Amino acid sequence: MTPDIRPYARSLILGTLATALTLSLVCSTSLQYGHADVPFAATADEIQPLAVGDSAPRFTVRTIDDERFEFDPRTLERPVVLISFRGGWCPFCNMHLSELRHAIPEISEMGVDVLFLSGDRPELLYSSLSGQTQGYIDGLNYTILSDADAQAAIALGIAFRASDRTMQRRHDKGDDIEDSSMARHGVLPVPAVFAVNRDGIITFAAANANYKVRIPTDQLLAAAREVAEAE
């Protein structure tokens, strides 16, 4: 006698519907995290960063003490400038951090907070920087946060897949990238800058796929001044 397959069919259909609903909820929830519905681009040239007028995303990163730090654009007390960089192993990132040492105090005086987002894990946030860079920023109000999970980079739409060649080169040079966004997820952030007002809206956005090109200091100051004066 042929067994009744209706219970199995019904179970399969219900399971499929449940899976579809779960995926729908996940995708719906991910929209609050910017472009998290498309986790990362295949190359730096294909990123889709958030733009002026977009709502800033909510994301969680880690402090140098490996404590949870949640960025929530709905509860900002002051405007914020977010600056992403690849990690302390990147010489161009070190150069940029050093150059910005003159701008950070001025931006802070405007009433704007500056948060640096690094792909390094917490314990490497400062130690992986060059000695010169550490000397330059010592005593300044630098808040460097770990985005080793790439959550912020994905939310901001600036995450892309790191090539095997890039990762091998870093290993060959002896860089400590273990548990960084690059080693953990094969993802790197495109260096970018976002200014966010107290309403959580992006008022300035700049991202360049060429990691050797960084925002000039005068342009960063202008962006910070604009978001500060709009309050």
Which of 104, 113, 106, 109 is closest to 198 using CA atoms? 113
Are residues 182 and 146 part of one domain?
A: yes
CATH number, domain with residue 189: 3.40.30.10
Are residues 54 and 25 part of one domain?
A: no
Tell me: pLDDT of 22 over 60: no
Are residues 207 and 168 part of one domain?
A: yes
Are residues 204 and 150 part of one domain?
A: yes
| Cβ neighbourhood burial of 28 (10 Å; 0-12, 13-18, 19+) | exposed
Are residues 135 and 43 part of one domain?
A: yes
Residue 3, pLDDT score: 52
pLDDT in tens, 96-126: 999 998 899 999 999 999 999 999 988 888 8
Are residues 113 and 46 part of one domain?
A: yes
Are residues 94 and 18 part of one domain?
A: no
The structure's pTM equals 0.80
Residue 27, pLDDT score: 38
Arithmetic mean of pLDDT, 10-38: 41
pLDDT in tens, 145-198: 999 989 999 999 999 987 777 777 767 776 666 667 766 677 889 999 999 999
For residue 20, the enclosing domain spans 1-33
